Amino acid sequence: MAKSKFVGRRPQRELLAAMMASNQAELLALYGRRRVGKTFLVREVVEPLSGTFLEITGTRSGASSLQRRRFREAIERAFPVGDPLPDFASWD
């Protein structure tokens, strides 16, 4: 791994790097207390890589409609196609 300004979390960084290098589809659901560096950790590993990545931040007690809207917006940012996607009426 390249030298980083990130201090600690070596096992987590190595696990993320291994997932990124995998030839299989990988999904990471990272959760925890606010302000402990979850987003920074993922960005530190992903930033030097090429590819398209989908980053979605949920809201603990947010309405399902808000969660679906944020999901749609994240897809639109990661995969711009021109026309906006329709809102998702449900997760089904």
Q: Is the pLDDT of residue 1 over 80?
A: no
What is the spatial distance between Cα 68 and Cα 44, in angstroms, rounded to a whole number? 26
Give 2's pLDDT tier (boundaries 50, 70, 90): low
Task: Of 7, 63, 68, 70, give the one whose Cα is nearest residue 40.
Answer: 7
Coil, strand or helix: which one is 59? coil
Q: How many CB atoms lie within 10 A of CB 46?
A: 14
What is the model's pLDDT at position 23? Answer: 92
Please check the confidence at residue 63 and state whether its pLDDT lies above 70.
Answer: yes
| pLDDT tens-digit readout, 17-37 | 999 899 998 888 888 888 888
Alpha carbon separation from 83 to 5, 58, 79, 89, 90 (Å, rounded) = 39, 24, 11, 18, 20
Percent of the chain with pLDDT over 90: 17
